[in-house]
Chains A and B, each alone.
Chain A
Amino acid sequence: MTISRRVFVKSSGLALFSLGLDPLFLARAAYAVDRPTARPPDRRILVCLFQRGAVDGLNMIVPHGEELYYRERPRIAVPRAQVVDLDGHFGLHPALAALKPLWDNQSLAAVHAIGSPDATRSHFDAQDYMESGTPGLKATPDGWLNRYCRHDQEHADTPFRAVAFGPQLPRILAGSAPTLAIDDLQAFGLRVPQPAARDRLTRAFEALYDGASTGLLASSSQEGFDAVRQLQQANPTQYQPAHGADYPRGRLGRAFLQIAQLIKADVGVQIAFLDGTGWDTHVNQGASEGQLAVRLKELGDSLAAFATDLGEKMRDVVVLTMSEFGRTIRENGNVGTDHGHATAMFALGGPVNGGKVLGKWPGLDPATRFEGRDLAVTTDFRDLFGEILTRHLGARELAAVFPGFTPDPARFPGAIRA
Chain B
Amino acid sequence: MKAVGRYGGQAVGLMVASTIALTAIPPYRLTAQVLSPRDSAVHALNRLAYGPRPGDVDRVAQGGVMTWIEQQLAPERIDDARLAERERRFDLLSYSRDDLARLYLDAQRARRERQQAQRADSMMGPPADQADQSPERLRARRLAGELQELAVVRAALSERQLQEVMVDFWTNHFNVFLGKGADRFLMPSYIEETIRPRALGKFSDLLIATARSPAMLFYLDNWESVAPGSQPPFQTRNGELGTRNTLFRLPRSAFRVGSANRMPKGINENYARELLELHTLGVDGGYTQQDVIAVARIFTGWSIAPPPRGGGFEFHDWAHDRGAKTVLGVAFPPGHGEDEAVRLLALLANSPATMHHVSRQLCARFVADDPPDGCVDAAAAAWQRSGGDIREVLRAIFRSPDFWAPQNVRAKVKTPLEFVVSAARAVGADPDSTARLAQVVARLGEPLYLHVAPDGYAERQEDWLNSGALLARMNAAVAIAAGRLPGAAVDLDALVPATADKDSLIAAVNDRLLAGTMSEHTKTVIRDQLSDISDPKQARALAIGLALGGPDFQRQ
A: residues with CB less than 8 A from B are 53, 120-125, 128, 132, 138-141, 159, 167-169, 171, 176, 178-182, 188-192, 200-201, 204-205, 207-209, 211-213, 216-218, 220-228, 277-284, 286, 289-291, 294-295, 328, 332-336, 338-339, 371, 373
Give Cα distance in the complex from A179 to B467, angstroms: 8
Nearest CB of chain A from residue B495's CB, rounded to whole Å? 21
Q: Which candidate, B78-86, B125-133, B298-306, B347-355, is the interface stretch facing chain A?
A: B125-133
Contact, CB under 8 Å: A138 / B274: yes
Give Cα distance in the complex from A139 to B445, angstroms: 19
A222: chain B residues within 8 A (beta carbon): 467
Give Cα distance in the complex from A189 to B244, angstroms: 40
Contact of B550 among A169, A208, A286 (CB under 8 A): A208
Nearest CB of chain A from residue B180's CB, rounded to whole Å? 5
Given A178-B467, A333-B240, A53 and B129 contact (CB-CB distance below 8 Å):
yes
A281: chain B residues within 8 A (beta carbon): 127-128
Indicate if B494 sits at the interface (CB-CB under 8 A): no
Q: Mark B309-324, 1 if CB is under 8 A from A, else 0.
A: 0000000000000000
Indicate if B251 sits at the interface (CB-CB under 8 A): no
Interface residues of A, dominant DSSP: loop
Give Cα distance in the complex from A189 to B468, angstroms: 8
Nearest CB of chain B from residue A23's CB, rounded to whole Å? 34
Nearest CB of chain A from residue B75's CB, rounded to whole Å? 31
Give Cα distance in the complex from A328 to B259, angstroms: 10
Nearest CB of chain B from residue A295's CB, rounded to whole Å? 7
Indicate if B37 sits at the interface (CB-CB under 8 A): no
Contact, CB under 8 Å: B262 / A121: yes
A140: chain B residues within 8 A (beta carbon): 453
Given A217-B413, A223-B467, A339-B243, A171 and B550 contact (CB-CB distance below 8 Å):
no
Indicate if B327 sits at the interface (CB-CB under 8 A): no
Contact, CB under 8 Å: B180 / A124: yes
Given A180-B467, A216-B465, A221-B470, A289 and B123 contact (CB-CB distance below 8 Å):
yes
Task: Known A-B contacts: A201-B542, A278-B127. Give 13 more (CB < 8 A).
Answer: A179-B466, A205-B549, A208-B549, A223-B466, A225-B467, A277-B129, A279-B127, A280-B127, A281-B127, A283-B115, A290-B124, A338-B243, A338-B259
Contact, CB under 8 Å: B262 / A139: no
Contact, CB under 8 Å: B127 / A291: yes
Contact, CB under 8 Å: B447 / A168: yes
Give Cα distance in the complex from A258 to B273, angstroms: 41
Indicate if B408 sits at the interface (CB-CB under 8 A): no
Given A190-B475, A289-B123, A373 and B260 contact (CB-CB distance below 8 Å):
yes
Nearest CB of chain B from residue A245's CB, rounded to whole Å? 26
Question: Among residues 81 to 137 in chain B, which have CB atoms less than 8 Å away from a CB atom of chain A?
Answer: 115-116, 118-119, 121, 123-130
Question: Among residues 458 to 491 in chain B, which have CB atoms less than 8 Å away from a CB atom of chain A?
Answer: 458, 461-463, 465-471, 474-475, 478
A335: chain B residues within 8 A (beta carbon): 119
Contact, CB under 8 Å: B129 / A280: yes
Given A278-B129, A295-B127, A208 and B546 contact (CB-CB distance below 8 Å):
yes
Q: Mark B423-462, 1 if CB is under 8 A from A, else 0.
A: 0000000000000000000110101000011110010011
Contact, CB under 8 Å: A124 / B177: yes
Chain B contact patch, size range:
35 or more
A205: chain B residues within 8 A (beta carbon): 474, 546, 549-550
Indicate if B361 sits at the interface (CB-CB under 8 A): no
B: residues with CB less than 8 A from A are 115-116, 118-119, 121, 123-130, 177, 179-181, 220-221, 240, 243-245, 257-260, 262, 270, 273-274, 277-278, 413, 442-443, 445, 447, 452-455, 458, 461-463, 465-471, 474-475, 478, 519, 521-522, 525-526, 528-529, 542, 545-546, 549-552, 554-555
Given A204-B546, A216-B413, A280 and B128 contact (CB-CB distance below 8 Å):
yes
Contact, CB under 8 Å: B118 / A159: no
Contact, CB under 8 Å: A191 / B179: no
Give Cα distance in the complex from A277 to B131, angstroms: 11
Q: Which residue of A lies closest to B468 (CB)?
A: A180
Contact, CB under 8 Å: B478 / A191: yes
Contact, CB under 8 Å: B270 / A138: yes
Give Cα distance in the complex from A132 to B452, angstroms: 11
Contact, CB under 8 Å: A294 / B124: yes
- 22 A-B pairs with CB atoms under 8 Å apart are A121-B258, A122-B245, A132-B453, A138-B220, A139-B274, A139-B454, A171-B452, A181-B468, A188-B468, A190-B471, A190-B478, A205-B546, A208-B522, A212-B519, A212-B521, A217-B554, A224-B467, A277-B127, A281-B127, A284-B125, A334-B119, A373-B260
Given A176-B463, A191-B478, A284-B118, A207 and B525 contact (CB-CB distance below 8 Å):
yes
Nearest CB of chain B from residue A352's CB, rounded to whole Å? 29
Q: Which residue of A lies closest to B241 (CB)?
A: A338
Given A205-B474, A283-B115, A217 and B126 contact (CB-CB distance below 8 Å):
no
B445: chain A residues within 8 A (beta carbon): 168-169
Contact of A168 among B262, B442, B529 (CB under 8 A): B442
